[in-house]
Structure 1
């Protein structure tokens, strides 16, 4: 069972930034104090309006599958340190705060489905990185896109099945084209379905999620330490989790896709990692 606590701004260990954000922050940065690093299972935010995060423990897992050439060969990956990851996909409300602050340069098109708690969509990989830099500067913590290995490790939550809930897509588990008898064919509010064993929502379906890695056609030379793969077809970046516009096979825990890093496709969003040390 996951232990849940709530930590607010200034209650976690300070995390110096390694880059200067390419904008001037309009708001007041959160004051930082030295506090113990949160433990696996703890849930917290760095500020009242910041994304809710959960701490995922260190561990080993088998990444990939033999289902497609793109997910082969399966390989053992070691995640050496715990990390915090967004429990939900970044929402329009969170994105709009960045846009209102002058950092995020696109509002994102909600296609009339609403903003607020809807996952932000129509966001490029480059846009997602700007958001990460903005919230890092705002909070004084280090936020970034997850590596592909971190994403799959968190999405699986200790499982080895096709989906974290089992072998088959079933009904009422996710938002995708064939995930239910009456598919919505649009994004739905984040957290509309039950979370996985680590407490993460929507790791299958709803919005595709950008990760840090360059695209490679297979895992033949993939890193085994959980780090981002920064060589390969780096004009394209990896997307994980499938979306409302995809079939269930692309919502599987091992499934992966790619897109040009500067393209704002209407089904693409993201969630963030917050480093702990």
Structure 2
């Protein structure tokens, strides 16, 4: 009964977060490179832009992002990325510095908020991204965080994810237009293929301090799948119309090619599916 009460309260927190976020007025603020930051602090007040913080000692490290505008998608590569269109996010929010790890997931399981420890495919757990989680599993983790911290955690919208991944850049990847060598975990990203996930933070971060936004594991977002961006929201909100049995995934993964790791690449999967290539990161509303 206690968890049901907490569950209801968390839903109210999340709903309030969307209402307040929608009322932001700082659209189009300039974006910049994140400054070199000290270790994450336990949040006691509203975090500053690009500040790393945690809401509890065992919670994921978050990076606060400012409002801003960017061009989402592309016009020249793949149909699902078209048309390129302006998106203006008029509210601040925070996104996970890393993909959620097995260690972080285990805390949720021990606390009764998540069902079980998923199979690690024999690769080990610890700081590796949690895998074999469905879309609903990922949402359950975010809900548990909301209850635990009295904050509003959720999955990112597709637009929020791309805004964070691009980090003010317009190139194919957050570092440029070529994949290079040793910059990400994918099938053709290194001289020797890893054939498995890597611990989060194994590669350099993007300009805003986020790790593994290109490769390692696919990341669930809130959005329903649509085959292109015609009619998509332009305010950062999730697109909740379309083929909602399928949800959008971003980032690419260790077993996909570099072309699938760009900031604009989008993919779908049945929300009920779990796989050794699928994980997630969370977003936290900032009021």
When normalised by structure 1's length, the TM-score is: 0.89
> Runs in 1 of length 4+ with deviation above 6 angstroms?
none
Structure that is richer in helix per residue: 2
| Match 2:192 to one of 182, 187, 197 | 182
Are 2:41 and 1:57 aligned? no
Distance, in Å, in 2 between the alignment partners of 1:8 and 1:153 is 25
Match of 1:116?
A: 126
Query: Cα deviation per residue 1:135-184 (whole Å; 9 max; x = unaligned)?
Result: 11011110000000000000000000011111010001100001111110
When normalised by structure 2's length, the TM-score is: 0.86
Query: Cα deviation per residue 1:45-98 (whole Å; 9 max; x = unaligned)?
Result: 001111001111111100001210100000000011111110000000000111
Match of 1:46?
A: 55
Query: Cα deviation per residue 1:234-267 (whole Å; 9 max; x = unaligned)?
Result: 0000000000010111111000101111111221
User: How many correspondences in the alignment?
Assistant: 252
Match of 2:42?
A: 8
Q: CA RMSD in A?
A: 1.0
The Cα of 1:2 is off from its aligned counterpart by 2.5
Query: Cα deviation per residue 1:203-240 (whole Å; 9 max; x = unaligned)?
Result: 00001000000000000111000000000000000000
Distance, in Å, in 2 between the alignment partners of 1:52 and 1:107 is 20
Distance, in Å, in 1 between the alignment partners of 2:144 and 2:130 is 16
Match of 1:75?
A: 85
Distance, in Å, in 2 between the alignment partners of 1:127 and 1:158 is 31
Q: What runs of 5+ residues in structure 2 fail to find an aligned partner?
A: 1-32
Distance, in Å, in 2 between the alignment partners of 1:196 and 1:65 is 20
Match of 2:29?
A: none
Secondary structure at 1:55 match in 2: strand
Q: What runs of 5+ residues in structure 1 fail to find an aligned partner?
A: 13-36
